Structure 1
Amino acid sequence: MEKMEAAEKATCRSVDNFNPLITTIFQVSCILVISHMFHILLKPLGQPGPFAQLLAGVVVGPTLLSRIRRVEDFFIQASSAEYYMFFSFLCRMLFMFSIGLETDIPYFKRNIRVVSIVAGGGIILASICAAPLLWLLIKVFTVTKSRFPFYLLIFTVLANSASPVVIRMIAESKFDNADLGRLAIYSSLISEMSCVAFVATLTACSSTIRLVGAIIATLVTVLLIFLNNYLPSFFNKRNRHNRFLTNSELFLIIFILLAMSLLVESAGYTAITCCFLAGLMFPREGKTCRTLLHKLTYAVNTFVLPVYFGYTGFQFNISKIFNKLTLILTVLIILLSTGTKIVATLAACYYLKIPRNESLILSFLLNMKGNYDLIIINSPPVPNMLWENDIHDLFLSVVVLKTLILAPVVAIWLNRGEFCAHYPTTLEILNPESELRMLACAYIPRHVSGYLSLISALSGCPNATLNPYVAHLVELPKKKKSKLMYHQLEDGDQYSDEEEYGGNDVVQITNALDSFISETKIPVHEAKIVSSFLTINQDVCNGAVDLRVSIIFLPFHKHQRVDGKMENSMEGIRTINQKVIRHAPCSVGIFLDRGQTGFQQPHGSLCVQNIATFFFSGPDDREALACSKRILMHSQVSLTVFRFIQANSSIQNSWISDASHKDEEVIMAISSIGTENEMDNVFVDTFYNRYVAQGKASLIEKYVSDGAETLVALREILDNMYSLVIVGKGGRENSSLTIGMSDWEECPELGLVGDLLASSEMNFNGSLLVIQQHRHSEEDEAFITP
Structure 2
Amino acid sequence: MEAARRALCVSDPFNPLITTFAQSAGILVISHCFHLFLKQFGQPGPVAQILAGIVLGPSLLSRIPKVNRFFIQSSTADYYEVIETIFRTVFMFLIGLEMDIPYMRRSLRKASIIASGGVIVGVLFGIAVSISLIILLKIKSQLFDFATIIIIALTNSASPVVFRLAAELKFLTSDTGRLAVCASLITEMFCVLWRSVSLAVDPWKNLGTGILFLLMTVTLIGINKYLASWCNQRIRNQKYVTNTEFLVFLFLLIAAALFIEEYGYNSAISCFLLGLMFPREGKTTRTLLHKLSYATYNFILPVYFGYIGFQLNVSILGRLKPLITVIVMIVMSIATKIIGTLVACHYLKISTDEGIVLGFLLDLKGNAELQILGKLPKETMKQWEEADVHGMVLTVVVINTVIAGVVVAHILRKKEEYFSHSHISLELGEHESELRMLACVYGSRNISSKIGLISAFSESLKTPVTTYLMHLVELPKKRTKKNLMYHQLQDGDQYSDEEDYGGNDVVEINDAVDAYTMETKVLIHQRKVVSYFERMYEDVCDSIEDLRVSIIFLTFHKHQRLDGKMESGKDGMRTTNHKVMRHAPCSVGIFVDRGQTGFQQPSSQSVQNIATLFFGGPDDREALACSKMISNHPHIHLTLIHFQNLPSSKQTEYTNEILHRNDELLLEMSNHEIEADIDRAYTQDFYNRYVTSGQVGYVEKYVENGTQTAEALRDIHDTFSLLIVGKGGRGNSPMTTGMSDWEECPELGTVGDLLASSELNTNSSVLVIQQYRHSRNDLN
What TM-score do you get using the length of structure 2 for normalisation? 0.91
Asked whether the 8 Å contact 1:425–1:549 carries over to 2, the reply is: no
* Residue correspondence of structure 1 range 232-243 to structure 2 within 5 A: 232-243=228-239
**What stretches of structure 2 of length at least 5 have no aligned partner?**
650-670
Q: Deviations over 1:249-287 (max 9, x none)?
A: 111111110111111112321111111111111111111
Aligned partner of 1:655 in structure 2 is: none
Give, in whole Å, the separation in 2 of the partners of 1:423 and 1:224.
42
Give, in whole Å, the separation in 2 of the partners of 1:708 and 1:194.
70
* Residue correspondence of structure 1 range 136-535 to structure 2 within 5 A: 136-380=132-376, 385-386=380-381, 388-389=384-385, 390-416=388-414, 417-461=416-460, 463-480=462-479, 497-535=497-535
Instruction: Tell which deviates more after alignment, 292-301 or 108-117.
Output: 108-117
- Shift in CA distance, 27/12, structure 1 to aligned 2, threshold 3 Å: farther
- Shift in CA distance, 550/274, structure 1 to aligned 2, threshold 3 Å: same
- 1:311 Cα offset (Å): 0.9
Asked whether the 8 Å contact 1:24–1:80 carries over to 2, the reply is: yes
- 1:673 Cα offset (Å): 12
Asked whether the 8 Å contact 1:220–1:264 carries over to 2, the reply is: no
Instruction: Please point out which of 63, 74, 79 is paired with 1:78.
Output: 74
- 1:495 Cα offset (Å): 10
- 1:649 Cα offset (Å): 9.7
Q: Does 1:538 align with 2:533?
A: no
- 1:714 Cα offset (Å): 2.6
Asked whether the 8 Å contact 2:257–2:271 carries over to 1, the reply is: yes
Structure 1 ranges of 4+ moved more than 4 A:
6-9, 382-385, 484-487
- 1:580 Cα offset (Å): 1.8
Give, in whole Å, the separation in 2 of the partners of 1:649 and 1:127.
78
Please tell me the residue identity of whatever aligns with 2:435.
Answer: L
Asked whether the 8 Å contact 1:533–1:576 carries over to 2, the reply is: yes
Give, in whole Å, the separation in 1 of the partners of 2:380 and 2:583.
62
Asked whether the 8 Å contact 1:173–1:415 carries over to 2, the reply is: no
- 1:688 Cα offset (Å): 2.1
Asked whether the 8 Å contact 1:341–1:367 carries over to 2, the reply is: yes
- Shift in CA distance, 571/19, structure 1 to aligned 2, threshold 3 Å: closer
- 1:432 Cα offset (Å): 4.8
Instruction: Tell which deviates more after alignment, 178-187 or 702-711.
Output: 702-711
Instruction: Tell which deviates more after alignment, 288-297 or 405-414.
Output: 405-414
Q: Deviations over 1:345-396 (max 9, x none)?
A: 011111111122111111111111111111122223x696436132222211
Asked whether the 8 Å contact 1:220–1:263 carries over to 2, the reply is: no
Aligned partner of 2:659 in structure 1 is: none
Q: CA RMSD in A?
A: 2.6
Aligned partner of 1:559 in structure 2 is: 559
Instruction: Tell which deviates more after alignment, 34-43 or 494-503.
Output: 494-503
**What stretches of structure 1 of length at least 5 have no aligned partner?**
1-5, 651-671, 779-786
Give, in whole Å, the separation in 2 of the partners of 1:694 and 1:496.
56
Q: Deviations over 1:553-598 (max 9, x none)?
A: 1111222223433333334322222222222221111101113111
Give, in whole Å, the separation in 1 of the partners of 2:160 and 2:479.
42
Please tell me the residue identity of whatever aligns with 1:71.
Answer: V
Asked whether the 8 Å contact 1:731–1:751 carries over to 2, the reply is: no
Equivalent residue of 2:573, what SS? helix
Identity of aligned residues (%): 52
What TM-score do you get using the length of structure 1 for normalisation? 0.90
Instruction: Tell which deviates more after alignment, 292-301 or 112-121.
Output: 112-121
- Shift in CA distance, 145/289, structure 1 to aligned 2, threshold 3 Å: same
Asked whether the 8 Å contact 1:216–1:264 carries over to 2, the reply is: no
Aligned partner of 2:35 in structure 1 is: 39
Equivalent residue of 1:682, what SS? helix
Q: Deviations over 1:430-475 (max 9, x none)?
A: 2154312112111110121110000000112352222111111111
Give, in whole Å, the separation in 2 of the partners of 1:12 and 1:549.
57
Aligned partner of 1:782 in structure 2 is: none
Instruction: Tell which deviates more after alignment, 273-282 or 24-33.
Output: 24-33
Asked whether the 8 Å contact 1:425–1:551 carries over to 2, the reply is: no
Q: Does 1:588 align with 2:588?
A: yes
Equivalent residue of 1:208, what SS? coil
- How many residues are aligned here? 742
- 1:607 Cα offset (Å): 4.5
- 1:757 Cα offset (Å): 1.3
Q: Deviations over 1:180-220 (max 9, x none)?
A: 11111222112111221222234323331221221122122
Q: Deviations over 1:707-747 (max 9, x none)?
A: 2332333333335x111110001137321111122222222
Give, in whole Å, the separation in 2 of the partners of 1:673 and 1:338.
56
Equivalent residue of 1:418, what SS? helix
Asked whether the 8 Å contact 1:614–1:725 carries over to 2, the reply is: yes
Give, in whole Å, the separation in 1 of the partners of 2:55 and 2:519.
53
Equivalent residue of 1:468, what SS? strand
Please tell me the residue identity of whatever aligns with 1:439.
Answer: L
Give, in whole Å, the separation in 2 of the partners of 1:501 and 1:161.
40
Aligned partner of 2:654 in structure 1 is: none
Q: Does 1:63 align with 2:59?
A: yes
Please tell me the residue identity of whatever aligns with 1:171.
Answer: A
Q: Deviations over 1:393-418 (max 9, x none)?
A: 22111111111222222222223423
- 1:425 Cα offset (Å): 4.2
- 1:419 Cα offset (Å): 2.3
Aligned partner of 2:108 in structure 1 is: 112
- 1:420 Cα offset (Å): 1.5
- 1:485 Cα offset (Å): 7.4
Aligned partner of 2:653 in structure 1 is: none
- Shift in CA distance, 644/38, structure 1 to aligned 2, threshold 3 Å: same
Aligned partner of 2:657 in structure 1 is: none
Give, in whole Å, the separation in 2 of the partners of 1:7 and 1:385.
20
- Shift in CA distance, 116/674, structure 1 to aligned 2, threshold 3 Å: farther
Equivalent residue of 1:166, what SS? helix
- Shift in CA distance, 597/290, structure 1 to aligned 2, threshold 3 Å: same
Please tell me the residue identity of whatever aligns with 1:461.
Answer: S
Q: Deviations over 1:323-363 (max 9, x none)?
A: 11111111111111110100110111111111221111111
Q: Does 1:764 align with 2:762?
A: yes
